[in-house]
A and B are shown apart, each in its own frame.
Chain A
Amino acid sequence: DVVMTQSPLSLPVTLGQPASISCRSGQSLVHSDGNTYLNWFQQRPGQSPRRLIYKVSKRDSGVPDRFSGSGSGTDFTLKISRVEAEDVGVYYCMQGTHWPRTFGQGTKVEIE
């Protein structure tokens, strides 16, 4: 299985300040079709996961533009330009290139 390693696992942030989460995969996530299937999900307390980013950097409809994804190969980053109170929750990266699909351990974002 492709191991997805997130850091940090806990991220206290100040409202209005930026935040960044790293995700590293155990092998390249470049698919044979040329795409890189790296996704980011947000799970607010008591809610289902919600996809924010797909194919490394494509933002889903309705996702605020303060969220951005970047990276390539095995190293990926989710950035929040200015954290808002509604951003509290756990963030997961997930690879959709290899079988079985695998998730990172999750990064808990909380307001300081």
Chain B
Amino acid sequence: RKEVEQDPGPFNVPEGATVAFNCTYSNSASQSFFWYRQDCRKEPKLLMSVYSSGNEDGRFTAQLNRASQYISLLIRDSKLSDSATYLCVVNPPSDSNYQLIWGAGTKLIIKP
């Protein structure tokens, strides 16, 4: 089992729709979780951290389910500019270098 797994997609979604995708992680003691966005041939950019109580930033909502070991990202009122690959990132515990474990990404395509 991979340490961090994501559905690669692509998710083809009409503009204005709501879309959600999950990411599962294998290490139950993982401490920090993030969602990054990566546009084609560019570096990843932090979209949002994921907090235990769930958090929202505008149209984006992130949630953590420790019992089932997954995090989710919900995008409401999707825009064409949301088209990108969304990377789930997990920070495993007891790692003094704070290494990250990356999912392979979920590709999202918003269609007009």
Indicate whether A and B interact.
no
Residues of B at the A interface (CB closer than 8 Å) are none
